[in-house]
Amino acid sequence: QFDVVESGGGLVQPGGSLRLSCAASGFILDYYAIGWFRQAPGKEREEVSCISWRSYSTNYVDSVKGRFTVSRDNADGTVYLQMNSLKPEDTAVYYCAADLRPFPENCTVDHNKGRYHYWGPGTQVTVSS
């Protein structure tokens, strides 16, 4: 059975930071592209970042560029989303998703949810004073 799970969400004040983690069971996360998405109440799920196999490629949606950083832990394959300078408009449920086409050297942020095969249940991020 393949599973993906996020962790690290919570409540933070504007300007604060959080680090989200994405881990997998049943497959080696390191071999695949991972996308980070978010969905705010009443809005479409949008892709905010992606990272390819071996971190050859990382990309971000314009609204988070310079504030969010996606990375992999080479030891265990965990994927992280470091979120700095958080704003109230970053409030959403954050999801990681795995594209199980192996060894991709590139990834693209294009909000294409259909590209991804396995999704985590999501973790809530709330930015509020």
Q: How do residues 30-52 score in pLDDT, each as one tens digit?
A: 889 999 999 999 999 999 999 99
Tell me whether residue 58 is exposed, middle or buried, using C-beta atoms within 10 angstroms of its C-beta: 0 to 12, 13 to 18, 19 or more: middle
User: Mean per-residue pLDDT for 8-28?
Assistant: 94
pLDDT at position 30 is 85
- The residues, ordered by sequence, that sit 6+ positions from 105 with a Cβ below 8 Å of its Cβ are 52, 53, 54, 56, 57
- For 4, other C-beta atoms within 10 Å of its C-beta total 23
Alpha carbon distances (Å) from 129 to 18, 38, 79, 81, 84: 15, 21, 28, 22, 16
Q: Within 10 Å of residue 32's Cβ, how many Cβ atoms?
A: 25
Q: Evaluate if residue 66 carries a pLDDT over 80.
A: yes
Q: Tell me, what's the pLDDT at 116?
A: 94
